[in-house]
Homo-oligomer: A and B are copies of this chain.
Amino acid sequence: MLEEKLKRTELSEMGEFRLIDHLTEDIKIVNKETIKGVGDDAAVIDNGNYVTLVSTDILTEGIHFDLTYTPLKHLGYKAAVVNFSDIAAMNGTPKQITVSIAVSNRFSVEALDEFYDGLKIACKKYNVDLVGGDTTSSLKGLFISITVVGIAKKDDVVYRNTAKANDLICVTGDLGGAFMGLKLLEREKEVFKADPGIQPDLEGYDYIVGRQLKPEARMDIIKIFKDLKVKPTSMIDISDGLASEIMHICKDSDVGCNVYLDKIPIDPTTNNMAVDFNMAATVAALNGGEDYELLFTISQDNYEKIKTVKEITVIGYITEARDNCYLVANDNSLIPIKAQGWNSFPE
């Protein structure tokens, strides 16, 4: 009997970004209202003077979060906020979310109450309405899918693919903290597993634990842009690490970049923890992810306006060298940036 051999490509061979490109490459937009589809932090839909921004994120237990050290209330808060961050990355304002969850019967109603409390606290803080959703069961594990709807004036929307040579590259806040917080939580989990009598030692590390468990969306920066009348030339939020995000901007904008290693803002707690783990804090900043800070470029003309803003750091500049992304080390040597990013499909 003849058996046709069907091709089987493993998801791990392709990786998350290439998989999304592959699945969506032949999509053609048919509605004139659809200004931007797949390929930015949010889709952009024309409504006349305003645009509607839509973005979605899925979080899966055991992949994106570990309930051993993630309180459900924090998880609800974070699940909402990471979506708000996608709207911030478009220079917009989040307005509504829908929440879909699938849970196994190991969860109680009270556990879901905790999760929803976190969602509601985030919604209240960010003035967002929880407008719908779907709640169902899963055979195993917890799955959360949130879609956020936001709004922006049509001319205010900032995309990823519009950085220009000589623009300054800026980041908000500091980087690497969320990753070092995760490393710490994972270490203490192992200690706890080995001896449940030992309580986790998180003292002095509130900051990085908070960065991991309770991130914030930088709506304050979006307000600063409005107040200072600065419109970034491109923007993305840092969910997968600085390296991966700057490469997104450069690839999509057909430009290159030089990023100064010693300019990358890192909190002292992040540094201390990195020393403990015998790793460079810049690696956490470049490849760690989950900081939900904003990475953006501005025209040099706007430098005077932003230079005194404490929460913004200029870390480099855009070059014409298409797809050539470099770190500039202290000795001025150039190190190519590789997008390690975060691949949810490990081999």
Contact = CB atoms under 8 A, between A and B. Distances in A.
Contacts of A62: 138-139
Contacts of A130: 24, 27, 37-38
A10 interface: yes
B139 A61 contact: yes
Place the interface of chain A in its size category: 35 or more
User: How many copies, total?
Assistant: 2
Given A47-B47, A58-B136, A149 B105 contact: no
Interface in A226-244: none
Nearest to A133: B56
B129 A29 contact: yes
A57 interface: yes
Given A52-B52, A63-B139, A345-B105, A149 B8 contact: no
Contact of A23 (B16, B30, B113): B113
A41 to B, nearest CB: 9
Contact of A139 (B47, B127, B141): B141
Contact of A16 (B55, B136, B149): B136
Contacts of A287: none
* A-side interface mostly: mixed
A129 B45 CA distance: 11
A31, A112, A137, A145 interface centre (most CB from chain B within 10 Å): A145
Contacts of A151: 33
A64 to B, nearest CB: 7
Interface in A22-62: 22-24, 26-27, 29-31, 33-34, 36-38, 42-43, 45, 47-48, 50, 52, 54-58, 60-62
Interface of A: 6-14, 16, 19-20, 22-24, 26-27, 29-31, 33-34, 36-38, 42-43, 45, 47-48, 50, 52, 54-58, 60-64, 95-96, 98-103, 105, 107-110, 112-113, 116, 120, 124, 127-141, 143, 145, 147, 149, 151, 344-346
